[in-house]
Amino acid sequence: MQKRKLGQLEVSALGLGCMGLSHGYGAVEKEDGIRLIRAAFERGVTFFDTAESYGPFTNEELLGEALAPMRDQVVIATKFGFLGGDFTKGEDSRPERIRAVCDAALKRLKTDRIDLFYQHRVDTSVPVEDVAGTVRDLIAQGKVLHFGLSEASVSSIRRAHAVQPVAALQSEYSLWWREPEKEILSVLEELGIGLVPFAPLGKGFLTGKLTADTTFAKDDFRSMVPRFTPQALQENQSFVDLLAEVASTRSATPAQVALAWLLARKPWIVPIPGTTKLHRLEENLGGAGMALTTEDLRRIEKALAGMKVHGDRYPAHLAARAGR
């Protein structure tokens, strides 16, 4: 697989978002998760994303065990920023908490360094300069190699970057959520920061496998997301139809076109689609191997200009955490 740069950090053009193996959509058996992670590595993926809050904690443990045999050949990203590692309890990015999370994550990940350490959400009670300074100290100690932010505003990015260079911003970005195009992308380009889009397939919607009749289990995050109500799914079907039309001319799938579209936006964008199934992993990786033509991209842009997304991407209490 081709490589890309997040700041000075080299990774595979597509990473693997590991959250769904333990959190958000239910959980898989440990051995199944290990097999999937190792299958991704065998197929060229070198960038793996986790967080202490996924589980909590179990996802880091899963990733640490799965990647232990090839640790020096991969890049591991994890995150700090929630009280006790529980996203339902609010943010906690106090310096002492960041240091404690780092030490605990190193043990769970079975490693001596965290390649990319993100602040999961900006904590308005702790100046982002203090957060960046704490991670800078961890980098000086060799425990962390690179610093990242997640769902941060332009102001927070600039303030943090002035203290410790930010290698990557992780934020939602897809055909279904293009908010980063308003301000974020130009600032990242200016500062030399990479973008890691999570939910690049619209939390599964852009694969074309979800319909208005789809039901979600109570432990599936999407069950409380306004964008996944039956009405919203039906109203947003035009996005999937567009991807399917383009895919039909390229012997591809809607998911592959959605990922190829993201990769075509900027050379420093590295999407991290997640999955629990081997055949979906292979399908997603196929998106990294296809290049959309100028005509494909023009066709998509023209269609998107006349389309509107229905439904908020988060419930109100979670939406308030993003873009601070």
Residues annotated catalytic, as ranges: 54
pLDDT confidence bin for 301, thresholds 50/70/90: very high
Tell me which residue has tokens 């070198």: 46
Mind listing the pLDDT tens digit for each residue in 238-273?
999 999 999 999 999 999 999 999 999 999 999 999
* pLDDT of res. 26: 87
pLDDT confidence bin for 221, thresholds 50/70/90: very high
* pLDDT of res. 304: 96
Tokens of 100: 């404690």
* pLDDT of res. 96: 98
Residue 324 within a domain: no
* pLDDT of res. 154: 98
- State how many domains the chain has: 1
Mind listing the pLDDT tens digit for each residue in 279-296?
999 999 999 999 999 999
Task: List the domain range (segments joined by +) for residue 222.
Answer: 3-319
Q: In what order do the strands lie in the sheet with 144-150?
A: 16-17, 47-49, 75-80, 114-119, 144-150, 166-172, 194-198
Residue 108 within a domain: yes
Flag whether pLDDT at 82 surpasses 90.
yes
Nearest 5°: the CA angle 203, 56, 13 is 45
CATH label of the domain that carries residue 205: 3.20.20.100
